[in-house]
Amino acid sequence: MVATIGAATTSAASAKRVEERSTVVIRFAGDSGDGMQLTGTQFTNESALAGNDIATLPDFPAEIRAPIGTLAGVSGYQLNFSSGRVFTPGDDPDVLVAMNPAALRVNLADLVDNGILIVDTDAFTKANVRKAGYDSDPLEDPSLERVSVFKIALTKLTSQALKELGLPNKTVVRCRNFFALGLCSWLFTRPTEETLNWIAEKFKKAPQLVEANTLVFKAGWNYGETTEAFHSSYTVAPATGIEPGTYTNMIGNKALAYGLMAGAAKADKRLFLGTYPITPATDILHELASHKELGVITFQAEDEIAGVCSALGASFGGAIGVTTSSGPGIALKSEAIGLGVMVELPLVVVNVQRGGPSTGLPTKTEQADLLQALFGRNGESPVAVVAPCTPTDCFMAGYEAVATAIRYMTPVIVLSDGYLANGAEPWSIPKFAELPSIEAKFWTQSQGFHPYLRNEDTLARPWVVPGTPGFEHRIGGIEKDYASGNISYDADNHERMSRVRASKIERIAEDIPPARVEGSDTGEVLVIGWGSTYGAITEAVAQLNAEGIATGHLHFRWLNPFPRGVGSILKRFKHVVVPEMNLGQLIRLIRDRFLVDARPITKIQGQPFKVRELVEPIRALVEASK
């Protein structure tokens, strides 16, 4: 081989033509055991380092190891990388890497016309083809004529690259995703140095794998550079329109963990996580468990209920109690969240939503727990609810949840979802010192104390922790007397306390920014979204405005309380459309609160909205009303 990877990346002295592209959507697909998530993640890192704006969609099966080669076992990772701003992982891939027939079958229909299809021909054995449900070899099918197919004997090339090492065949096969990564890195002129460092670091416990994966990665790169298969490669310039700063690639669950830790540290309190593993929330536990050096306590409880209860116990003791889960776990925690409402202690409850009901679609995304978060407890049980809009917004959502829980002495529910949890985008790294301050003072005043004395501004009760002499008191789930904090079954008192608890949550609206419209400020259509649909709605609204349909975008980050100023915004638009990944939940609240004839756009397929799935119905609505 002539060219070497080191030389090419530093001098870009490739003999081949390099074409400029503004945006590329690539999808890696293979069997769950093929390492597609790893490949996609590292390709994403390379693209981030190349200065592109990025958005990703990992999509993997619930089974840890579904039967090899089956449709059920297909795992995919989609990345949208661009020289402009991107807000979604892209509707349809321009490039599809299919490591086996099942991956081809599941994903081919999504590939755009004239798109690039890269397949490992070695994986298209008779048995695999049959397992994928094809009658004959799909690579010979005329339907492939609409795309450019690159048939590469990826497995063979991998084992050739490794022949000197004498590795067992099983290990060799498991390296082939690095061939794909190397090849794609060449194809899109990605920087490779960090990947080589990353291989060295990731496999440092098995030096043989460092060598093997490095060799295979380079072989993939060199294959693109030196063989006749590819006539040109592509480049996507660093993104413009991005705020200056230092960036890193960040996924939602990690950002959320960072936000929780930073919030607690800003408040000068200890973070206590009481939790039980559940997909797709578990990575928050993993992240927090690895930061004992920051004083974080993670308690893996015996069940979901013990998770939230231990967090509440820790809050009673003066820590920031946090519990993390997904819908089924939140259902189990609901009684204890109600206790949190009643005893008025800070508590952060994270729900990384997944497809439901019951076990539902554990690894897929959905927004169907909004009404559960707002109303899923016995009695009048108001809690604050915040929903991050993007993977990196999970950081501030976690941070603000901590701040709000302390300031208002209340449970706060963070509604993330599977898409945000695993999705990646560039994160403008904040400075800890510049994060908003969080005041968290325990009560020590000696005058006129009782445990349900209320702050005039926030209506919060004092946080008095055991160990404080002179303020020994009892809290609990039974209704309390407004004036003394003692148990009370008085009728009028219960009404008064119920209203105070509700008003307390309403007052949070003073702290959050008023409603603000993006896109057109007035006009035809107002699109109201919440949570992870932010990216898809942003792109859809931009397209509609470009088409001449004046469209505004109002995104609710806080669902309880609503921000101020929504009513007047609604009046400025002819139509109100509410897209949600459920059967219509926010829309009920909008109709109820504002008495507007809002229209739903719903999707409940475990997948985020594609941009066209928003543009098309909105366009049709406007046409029909002309």
Partner 1 sequence: MTTAESPKLTRKEFVSDQDVRWCPGCGDYAILAQVQKVMPEIGVARENTVFVSGIGCSSRFPYYMNTYGFHSIHGRATAIATGLKIARPELSVWVVTGDGDGLSIGGNHLIHILRRNLNVNILLFNNQIYGLTKGQFSPTSRLGLVTKSSPKGVIDNPFDAASLALGAEATFVARTVDVQAAHLQSVLRRAAEHRGTSFVEILQNCPVFNDGAFDDVTDRATIDEHQLLLEHGKPLIFGPGGDRGIRLDKNMEPEVVALNGANSEQLLVHDETNDALAYFLTRLERPRFPVPLGVLRAVQHPTYEDRVHEQIDALHGAADEKAFDALFASGDTWQVGQAK
Span 423-462, contacts to partner 1 by CB under 8 A: 429-433
Distance between CA atoms of 233 and 184, rounded to whole angstroms? Answer: 9
In this chain, which stretch among 102-110, 312-320, 442-450, 520-528 interacts with partner 1, using CB under 8 A?
312-320
Structure tokens at 377: 């407890």
CB of 50 to partner 1, least distance (A): 8
CB of 537 to partner 1, least distance (A): 25
CB of 313 to partner 1, least distance (A): 3
> For the purposes of burial, counting CB atoms within 10 Å of the CB of 571, is it exposed (0-12), middle (13-18) or buried (19 or more)?
exposed
How far are the Cα atoms of 321, 341, 415 from residue 412, in angstroms, in the given order?
A: 11, 10, 10
CB of 384 to partner 1, least distance (A): 21
Structure tokens at 350: 């994270």
Q: Is the dihedral of CA 174, 178, 181, 183 positive or negative?
A: negative
146, 474, 516, 574: which one binds partner 1 (CB under 8 A): 474
Which is closer to partner 1, CB of 84 or CB of 313? 313
173, 199, 305, 460: which one binds partner 1 (CB under 8 A): 305
Task: Give the distance, in angstroms, between the CA of residue 50 and the centroid of all CA atoms in the same chain.
Answer: 22
Which is closer to partner 1, CB of 168 or CB of 467? 467
Distance between CA atoms of 327 and 367, rounded to whole angstroms? Answer: 10
Which is closer to partner 1, CB of 26 or CB of 267? 267
Which is closer to partner 1, CB of 114 or CB of 246? 246
In this chain, which stretch among 352-360, 454-462, 467-475, 529-537 interacts with partner 1, using CB under 8 A?
467-475
In this chain, which stretch among 33-41, 116-124, 210-218, 309-317 interacts with partner 1, using CB under 8 A?
309-317
CA neighbor of 19 nearest in space, from 229, 176, 233, 204? 233
Distance between CA atoms of 210 and 571, rounded to whole angstroms? Answer: 61
CB of 220 to partner 1, least distance (A): 20
Dihedral of the alpha carbons of 81, 418, 280, 588, in degrees to the nearest 10: 170
Answer whether 26's CB lies under 8 Å from 409's CB: no
Which is closer to partner 1, CB of 490 or CB of 510? 490
Peptide bond between residue 561 and the one before it cis (omega within 30 degrees of 0)? yes
- Residue 77, SS3 per DSSP: strand
Answer whether 150's CB lies under 8 Å from 188's CB: no
Considering only residues 136 to 195 of the shown chain, the ones binding partner 1 according to CB under 8 A are 194
Which is closer to partner 1, CB of 68 or CB of 475? 475
Counting contacts by CB under 8 A, is residue 311 touching partner 1? yes
Contacts of residue 293, defined as CB under 8 A and 6 or more positions apart, other chains included, come to none
Which is closer to partner 1, CB of 49 or CB of 184? 49
Provide the 8-state DSSP code for 98.
E
Residue 112 backbone dihedrals phi, psi, to 5 degrees = -65, 160
CB of 193 to partner 1, least distance (A): 10
Which is closer to partner 1, CB of 245 or CB of 513? 245
316, 463, 482, 556: which one binds partner 1 (CB under 8 A): 316
Provide the 8-state DSSP code for 142.
G
33, 51, 485, 565: which one binds partner 1 (CB under 8 A): 51
Which is closer to partner 1, CB of 478 or CB of 583? 478
CB of 195 to partner 1, least distance (A): 10
Peptide bond between residue 280 and the one before it cis (omega within 30 degrees of 0)? yes
Residue 99 backbone dihedrals phi, psi, to 5 degrees = -85, -15
Considering only residues 510 to 549 of the shown chain, the ones binding partner 1 according to CB under 8 A are none
CB of 176 to partner 1, least distance (A): 24
CB of 479 to partner 1, least distance (A): 12
Structure tokens at 301: 């409880």
Contacts of residue 75, defined as CB under 8 A and 6 or more positions apart, other chains included, come to 29, 30, 31, 32, 34, 36, 37, 59, 60, 61
Which element (helix H / strand E) includes 551? strand 551-556
Residue 577 backbone dihedrals phi, psi, to 5 degrees = -120, 135
Counting contacts by CB under 8 A, is residue 379 touching partner 1? no
Answer whether 169's CB lies under 8 Å from 128's CB: no
6, 133, 477, 513: which one binds partner 1 (CB under 8 A): 477
Distance between CA atoms of 66 and 132, rounded to whole angstroms? Answer: 13
Counting contacts by CB under 8 A, is residue 405 touching partner 1? no
Counting contacts by CB under 8 A, is residue 317 touching partner 1? yes
3, 332, 371, 465: which one binds partner 1 (CB under 8 A): 465
CB of 239 to partner 1, least distance (A): 8
145, 472, 592, 623: which one binds partner 1 (CB under 8 A): 472
Task: Give the distance, in angstroms, between the CA of residue 83 and the centroid of all CA atoms in the same chain.
Answer: 22
Provide the 8-state DSSP code for 480.
B
Considering only residues 225 to 264 of the shown chain, the ones binding partner 1 according to CB under 8 A are 238-239, 242-250, 258, 261-262, 264
State in Å, rounded, how far the first CA of the chain is from the last one.
64
7, 72, 127, 294: which one binds partner 1 (CB under 8 A): 294
Which is closer to partner 1, CB of 345 or CB of 622? 345
Which element (helix H / strand E) includes 343? helix 327-343
CB of 311 to partner 1, least distance (A): 6
Which is closer to partner 1, CB of 453 or CB of 544? 453
Considering only residues 257 to 276 of the shown chain, the ones binding partner 1 according to CB under 8 A are 258, 261-262, 264-265, 270, 272, 274
Counting contacts by CB under 8 A, is residue 297 touching partner 1? yes
Which is closer to partner 1, CB of 38 or CB of 465? 465
Structure tokens at 204: 């440092």
Counting contacts by CB under 8 A, is residue 45 touching partner 1? yes
CB of 306 to partner 1, least distance (A): 4
For residue 18, list its beta bridge partners: 233
169, 486, 605, 625: which one binds partner 1 (CB under 8 A): 486
> For the purposes of burial, counting CB atoms within 10 Å of the CB of 448, is it exposed (0-12), middle (13-18) or buried (19 or more)?
exposed
Which is closer to partner 1, CB of 112 or CB of 242? 242
In this chain, which stretch among 110-118, 468-476, 552-560, 563-571 interacts with partner 1, using CB under 8 A?
468-476
Which is closer to partner 1, CB of 70 or CB of 410? 410
Counting contacts by CB under 8 A, is residue 314 touching partner 1? yes
Structure tokens at 30: 């293979």
321, 327, 529, 561: which one binds partner 1 (CB under 8 A): 321
